[in-house]
Amino acid sequence: MTLLDAHGYAAARQEVLQADASKHYTRLSGGPRPALLMRTPSAEYLDAFLRVARHLEALGVPAPGVIGVEPATNTALVQDLGEASMATVLDRGAEPAPLYFDAARSLVTLHASPPPEGLPAWDAPAMIRATQATFCDWWWPAIFGAPCPDETRHGLAAALAAMLAPFPGQGFVHRDYFPANLIPTPRGMAVIDFQDAARGHPAYDVVSLVEDARRDVDPALREAVVSAYLAQRPELEAEGFRAAMAVHAAQRHLRVAALWVRLDRRDGKPNYLRHGPRCWALLARALEHPAALPLARFLDAHVPPARRGNPA
Protein backbone atom coordinates (compact mmCIF):
# COMPACT_ATOMS: atom_id res chain seq x y z
CA MET A 1 0.00 0.00 0.00
CA THR A 2 1.40 3.41 -0.95
CA LEU A 3 1.54 6.42 1.32
CA LEU A 4 -1.35 8.04 -0.57
CA ASP A 5 -3.46 4.87 -0.41
CA ALA A 6 -2.86 4.48 3.31
CA HIS A 7 -4.18 7.95 4.13
CA GLY A 8 -7.07 8.29 1.69
CA TYR A 9 -5.38 10.26 -1.09
CA ALA A 10 -5.26 7.59 -3.80
CA ALA A 11 -7.83 9.44 -5.91
CA ALA A 12 -6.74 12.96 -5.00
CA ARG A 13 -5.94 15.44 -7.75
CA GLN A 14 -2.22 16.14 -7.97
CA GLU A 15 -0.63 19.47 -8.85
CA VAL A 16 3.14 19.48 -9.07
CA LEU A 17 4.49 22.66 -7.49
CA GLN A 18 7.75 24.38 -8.29
CA ALA A 19 10.57 22.60 -6.49
CA ASP A 20 13.30 24.34 -4.55
CA ALA A 21 16.92 23.23 -4.36
CA SER A 22 16.29 20.38 -1.98
CA LYS A 23 12.70 19.12 -2.10
CA HIS A 24 9.71 18.66 -4.36
CA TYR A 25 6.07 19.33 -3.48
CA THR A 26 2.86 17.98 -4.98
CA ARG A 27 -0.40 19.60 -3.86
CA LEU A 28 -3.21 17.09 -3.24
CA SER A 29 -6.87 18.07 -3.37
CA GLY A 30 -9.97 15.96 -3.02
CA GLY A 31 -8.61 13.90 -0.14
CA PRO A 32 -9.61 13.94 3.53
CA ARG A 33 -8.02 17.39 3.96
CA PRO A 34 -5.66 19.66 1.99
CA ALA A 35 -2.23 18.09 1.88
CA LEU A 36 1.17 18.23 0.24
CA LEU A 37 3.33 15.30 -0.77
CA MET A 38 6.88 16.31 0.11
CA ARG A 39 9.78 14.40 -1.47
CA THR A 40 13.07 15.10 0.26
CA PRO A 41 16.61 14.39 -0.98
CA SER A 42 17.79 12.16 1.86
CA ALA A 43 16.87 10.31 5.02
CA GLU A 44 18.82 12.91 7.02
CA TYR A 45 16.78 15.72 5.54
CA LEU A 46 13.51 13.95 6.27
CA ASP A 47 14.61 13.13 9.83
CA ALA A 48 15.48 16.78 10.46
CA PHE A 49 12.10 17.92 9.14
CA LEU A 50 10.22 15.42 11.30
CA ARG A 51 12.26 16.25 14.40
CA VAL A 52 11.46 19.93 14.18
CA ALA A 53 7.83 19.32 13.16
CA ARG A 54 7.30 17.29 16.36
CA HIS A 55 8.96 20.07 18.38
CA LEU A 56 6.73 22.76 16.91
CA GLU A 57 3.63 20.67 17.54
CA ALA A 58 4.63 20.19 21.17
CA LEU A 59 5.08 23.95 21.59
CA GLY A 60 1.74 24.74 19.96
CA VAL A 61 3.37 26.74 17.17
CA PRO A 62 1.33 26.34 13.97
CA ALA A 63 3.22 24.33 11.34
CA PRO A 64 2.41 21.78 8.64
CA GLY A 65 1.20 18.71 10.54
CA VAL A 66 2.67 15.39 9.47
CA ILE A 67 -0.05 13.05 8.16
CA GLY A 68 2.15 10.13 7.17
CA VAL A 69 5.72 9.17 6.31
CA GLU A 70 7.28 6.75 3.81
CA PRO A 71 10.91 6.42 4.94
CA ALA A 72 11.90 4.13 2.06
CA THR A 73 11.36 6.98 -0.40
CA ASN A 74 12.22 9.89 1.94
CA THR A 75 8.68 11.16 1.48
CA ALA A 76 6.20 12.74 3.86
CA LEU A 77 2.53 13.63 3.56
CA VAL A 78 1.97 16.94 5.34
CA GLN A 79 -0.83 19.38 5.96
CA ASP A 80 -1.23 22.07 3.31
CA LEU A 81 -1.52 25.46 5.01
CA GLY A 82 -2.23 27.23 1.74
CA GLU A 83 -0.37 29.49 -0.66
CA ALA A 84 -0.78 32.82 1.13
CA SER A 85 2.50 33.30 2.94
CA MET A 86 3.15 36.41 4.98
CA ALA A 87 5.21 37.67 2.03
CA THR A 88 2.28 37.17 -0.34
CA VAL A 89 -0.12 38.92 2.01
CA LEU A 90 2.27 41.84 2.39
CA ASP A 91 2.66 42.08 -1.38
CA ARG A 92 -1.12 42.29 -1.67
CA GLY A 93 -1.11 45.39 0.50
CA ALA A 94 -1.91 44.07 3.98
CA GLU A 95 -1.02 46.23 6.97
CA PRO A 96 2.49 45.06 7.99
CA ALA A 97 2.44 45.71 11.73
CA PRO A 98 -0.07 43.02 12.84
CA LEU A 99 1.72 40.41 10.72
CA TYR A 100 5.15 41.26 12.11
CA PHE A 101 3.88 41.29 15.68
CA ASP A 102 2.27 37.87 15.14
CA ALA A 103 5.57 36.60 13.74
CA ALA A 104 7.41 37.95 16.77
CA ARG A 105 5.00 36.16 19.12
CA SER A 106 5.64 32.82 17.41
CA LEU A 107 9.36 33.53 17.59
CA VAL A 108 9.16 34.17 21.33
CA THR A 109 7.56 30.75 21.81
CA LEU A 110 10.26 29.09 19.74
CA HIS A 111 13.11 30.83 21.53
CA ALA A 112 11.83 30.60 25.10
CA SER A 113 11.67 26.78 25.03
CA PRO A 114 14.61 24.35 25.05
CA PRO A 115 15.48 23.11 21.54
CA PRO A 116 14.95 19.48 20.56
CA GLU A 117 17.84 17.05 20.69
CA GLY A 118 19.98 16.51 17.64
CA LEU A 119 20.04 19.99 16.12
CA PRO A 120 23.32 21.04 14.48
CA ALA A 121 25.19 24.05 15.78
CA TRP A 122 24.81 27.46 14.16
CA ASP A 123 27.79 28.82 16.05
CA ALA A 124 30.84 30.89 15.13
CA PRO A 125 32.66 28.08 13.25
CA ALA A 126 29.54 27.24 11.23
CA MET A 127 28.84 30.89 10.43
CA ILE A 128 32.47 31.46 9.44
CA ARG A 129 32.40 28.52 7.01
CA ALA A 130 29.10 29.70 5.52
CA THR A 131 30.40 33.24 5.05
CA GLN A 132 33.66 32.11 3.48
CA ALA A 133 31.70 29.90 1.08
CA THR A 134 29.89 32.91 -0.40
CA PHE A 135 32.13 35.92 0.22
CA CYS A 136 35.51 34.31 -0.47
CA ASP A 137 34.51 31.68 -3.03
CA TRP A 138 32.07 33.72 -5.13
CA TRP A 139 31.84 37.42 -4.32
CA TRP A 140 35.58 38.10 -4.11
CA PRO A 141 36.52 36.55 -7.50
CA ALA A 142 33.56 38.25 -9.17
CA ILE A 143 34.64 41.66 -7.85
CA PHE A 144 38.44 41.43 -8.03
CA GLY A 145 38.86 38.99 -10.91
CA ALA A 146 41.13 36.65 -8.95
CA PRO A 147 40.79 34.01 -6.23
CA CYS A 148 40.46 35.24 -2.67
CA PRO A 149 43.96 35.18 -1.08
CA ASP A 150 44.46 32.77 1.81
CA GLU A 151 45.48 35.72 3.99
CA THR A 152 42.15 37.41 3.31
CA ARG A 153 40.20 34.22 3.95
CA HIS A 154 41.95 33.74 7.29
CA GLY A 155 41.49 37.40 8.14
CA LEU A 156 37.76 37.14 7.57
CA ALA A 157 37.60 34.08 9.82
CA ALA A 158 39.52 35.86 12.57
CA ALA A 159 37.32 38.96 12.34
CA LEU A 160 34.10 36.94 12.48
CA ALA A 161 35.40 34.82 15.37
CA ALA A 162 36.32 37.91 17.39
CA MET A 163 32.98 39.57 16.64
CA LEU A 164 30.85 36.52 17.46
CA ALA A 165 32.77 35.28 20.51
CA PRO A 166 30.93 37.43 23.10
CA PHE A 167 27.55 36.18 21.88
CA PRO A 168 27.34 32.37 22.07
CA GLY A 169 23.92 30.76 21.94
CA GLN A 170 22.46 27.31 22.41
CA GLY A 171 18.77 27.95 21.79
CA PHE A 172 16.49 27.08 18.88
CA VAL A 173 17.08 29.12 15.72
CA HIS A 174 15.07 28.66 12.54
CA ARG A 175 17.83 30.33 10.46
CA ASP A 176 15.46 31.58 7.73
CA TYR A 177 12.71 33.23 9.72
CA PHE A 178 11.35 35.73 7.20
CA PRO A 179 7.92 36.37 5.60
CA ALA A 180 8.26 33.86 2.75
CA ASN A 181 8.59 31.09 5.36
CA LEU A 182 5.66 32.23 7.50
CA ILE A 183 1.94 31.71 6.91
CA PRO A 184 -0.79 33.67 8.75
CA THR A 185 -3.40 31.35 10.25
CA PRO A 186 -6.26 31.81 12.75
CA ARG A 187 -4.04 30.10 15.36
CA GLY A 188 -1.18 32.54 14.86
CA MET A 189 1.78 32.74 12.54
CA ALA A 190 2.65 29.31 11.15
CA VAL A 191 6.25 28.36 10.42
CA ILE A 192 7.46 26.38 7.40
CA ASP A 193 10.83 25.41 5.87
CA PHE A 194 12.24 24.64 9.29
CA GLN A 195 14.37 21.60 8.42
CA ASP A 196 17.60 23.64 8.70
CA ALA A 197 16.89 24.69 12.28
CA ALA A 198 19.91 24.68 14.55
CA ARG A 199 21.24 25.66 17.97
CA GLY A 200 22.36 29.27 18.08
CA HIS A 201 21.67 32.79 19.30
CA PRO A 202 18.05 34.01 19.12
CA ALA A 203 19.21 37.38 17.76
CA TYR A 204 19.86 35.67 14.42
CA ASP A 205 16.16 34.93 13.87
CA VAL A 206 15.06 38.38 14.99
CA VAL A 207 17.47 39.89 12.47
CA SER A 208 16.12 37.56 9.77
CA LEU A 209 12.61 38.87 10.42
CA VAL A 210 13.10 42.62 10.83
CA GLU A 211 16.13 43.07 8.52
CA ASP A 212 14.78 40.97 5.68
CA ALA A 213 17.23 40.53 2.81
CA ARG A 214 14.33 40.41 0.33
CA ARG A 215 12.10 43.32 1.35
CA ASP A 216 12.34 46.70 3.04
CA VAL A 217 11.03 46.99 6.59
CA ASP A 218 10.11 50.42 7.91
CA PRO A 219 12.67 51.41 10.60
CA ALA A 220 9.94 52.41 13.04
CA LEU A 221 8.22 49.04 12.61
CA ARG A 222 11.54 47.25 12.97
CA GLU A 223 12.18 48.98 16.29
CA ALA A 224 8.63 48.32 17.49
CA VAL A 225 8.88 44.59 16.71
CA VAL A 226 12.25 44.25 18.46
CA SER A 227 10.85 46.10 21.49
CA ALA A 228 7.78 43.83 21.53
CA TYR A 229 9.98 40.73 21.34
CA LEU A 230 12.14 41.93 24.24
CA ALA A 231 9.07 42.85 26.29
CA GLN A 232 7.90 39.25 26.00
CA ARG A 233 11.32 37.95 27.06
CA PRO A 234 12.14 39.94 30.23
CA GLU A 235 14.93 37.49 31.05
CA LEU A 236 17.01 39.02 28.25
CA GLU A 237 19.18 42.08 28.82
CA ALA A 238 18.04 44.49 26.13
CA GLU A 239 21.31 46.31 25.41
CA GLY A 240 23.24 43.06 25.12
CA PHE A 241 20.59 41.58 22.86
CA ARG A 242 20.71 44.58 20.55
CA ALA A 243 24.48 44.22 20.38
CA ALA A 244 24.01 40.54 19.48
CA MET A 245 21.55 41.61 16.78
CA ALA A 246 24.13 43.96 15.24
CA VAL A 247 26.78 41.23 15.24
CA HIS A 248 24.54 38.58 13.72
CA ALA A 249 23.15 41.12 11.24
CA ALA A 250 26.68 41.93 10.07
CA GLN A 251 27.50 38.26 9.52
CA ARG A 252 24.18 37.45 7.86
CA HIS A 253 24.10 40.45 5.52
CA LEU A 254 27.67 39.91 4.34
CA ARG A 255 27.01 36.21 3.70
CA VAL A 256 23.71 36.81 1.92
CA ALA A 257 24.95 39.76 -0.16
CA ALA A 258 27.61 37.39 -1.49
CA LEU A 259 25.12 34.53 -1.79
CA TRP A 260 23.22 36.48 -4.45
CA VAL A 261 26.40 36.47 -6.53
CA ARG A 262 26.70 32.70 -6.21
CA LEU A 263 23.09 32.26 -7.27
CA ASP A 264 23.79 34.41 -10.31
CA ARG A 265 27.15 32.96 -11.35
CA ARG A 266 26.68 29.30 -10.43
CA ASP A 267 22.93 28.74 -10.63
CA GLY A 268 21.92 31.14 -13.40
CA LYS A 269 19.55 33.13 -11.17
CA PRO A 270 20.47 36.79 -11.74
CA ASN A 271 17.17 38.11 -10.37
CA TYR A 272 18.47 37.67 -6.83
CA LEU A 273 21.08 40.36 -7.47
CA ARG A 274 18.35 42.98 -7.13
CA HIS A 275 18.50 42.36 -3.37
CA GLY A 276 22.22 43.09 -3.22
CA PRO A 277 21.98 46.86 -2.59
CA ARG A 278 19.59 46.27 0.30
CA CYS A 279 21.94 43.74 1.93
CA TRP A 280 24.97 46.00 1.59
CA ALA A 281 23.00 48.90 3.09
CA LEU A 282 21.88 46.73 6.01
CA LEU A 283 25.46 45.57 6.47
CA ALA A 284 26.68 49.17 6.61
CA ARG A 285 24.12 49.92 9.31
CA ALA A 286 25.15 46.88 11.36
CA LEU A 287 28.83 47.78 11.11
CA GLU A 288 28.14 51.09 12.86
CA HIS A 289 27.59 49.22 16.14
CA PRO A 290 30.71 48.94 18.33
CA ALA A 291 30.16 45.19 18.75
CA ALA A 292 30.72 44.73 15.00
CA LEU A 293 34.08 46.53 15.03
CA PRO A 294 36.24 43.46 14.17
CA LEU A 295 34.37 42.89 10.90
CA ALA A 296 34.27 46.62 10.15
CA ARG A 297 38.05 46.79 10.48
CA PHE A 298 38.51 43.75 8.25
CA LEU A 299 36.36 45.24 5.49
CA ASP A 300 38.07 48.63 5.79
CA ALA A 301 41.41 46.90 5.29
CA HIS A 302 40.40 44.67 2.37
CA VAL A 303 37.34 46.05 0.58
CA PRO A 304 37.16 49.74 -0.37
CA PRO A 305 33.65 51.16 0.17
CA ALA A 306 33.26 51.69 -3.59
CA ARG A 307 33.62 47.93 -4.13
CA ARG A 308 30.96 46.94 -1.59
CA GLY A 309 28.17 45.89 -3.89
CA ASN A 310 27.22 43.64 -6.78
CA PRO A 311 29.74 42.85 -9.51
CA ALA A 312 29.58 45.17 -12.49
| pLDDT for the residue numbered 22 | 61
Chain centroid to CA 25: 20
| pLDDT for the residue numbered 47 | 94
Chain centroid to CA 171: 15
Tell me how far apart the alpha carbons of residues 149 and 151 are, in angstroms, rounded to a whole number. 5
| pLDDT for the residue numbered 208 | 98
> pLDDT > 70: what percent of the chain?
98
21-43 pLDDT, tens digit per residue, is 567 889 999 999 999 999 998 99
| pLDDT for the residue numbered 269 | 93
> pLDDT > 90: what percent of the chain?
93
| pLDDT for the residue numbered 150 | 98
Query: Domain 3-79 belongs to what architecture?
Result: 2-Layer Sandwich (3.30)
68, burial (CB in 10 Å: exposed 0-12, middle 13-18, buried 19+): middle
Domain ranges within the chain, ordered by starting residue: 3-79, 86-307
CATH class for the region spanning 86-307: alpha beta
Closest CA to 276 of 143, 180, 92: 143
3-state SS, residue 109: helix
| pLDDT for the residue numbered 20 | 60
51-86 pLDDT, tens digit per residue, is 999 999 999 999 999 999 999 999 999 999 988 999
Q: Identify the weakest region by mean pLDDT among 37-41, 182-186, 306-310.
A: 37-41
CA distances (Å), origin 295, targets 106, 150, 168, 220, 308: 31, 17, 17, 26, 14
Question: Pick the residue with more confidence: 117 or 20?
Answer: 117
136, pLDDT greater than 90: yes
Chain centroid to CA 121: 14
Q: How confident is the model at residue 168 (pLDDT cuts 50, 70, 90)?
A: very high
19, pLDDT greater than 60: no
| pLDDT for the residue numbered 83 | 83
What is the average pLDDT score of the chain?
Answer: 95
Contacts of 118 (CB under 8 A, 6+ apart): 51
Closest CA to 111 of 208, 26, 30, 21: 208
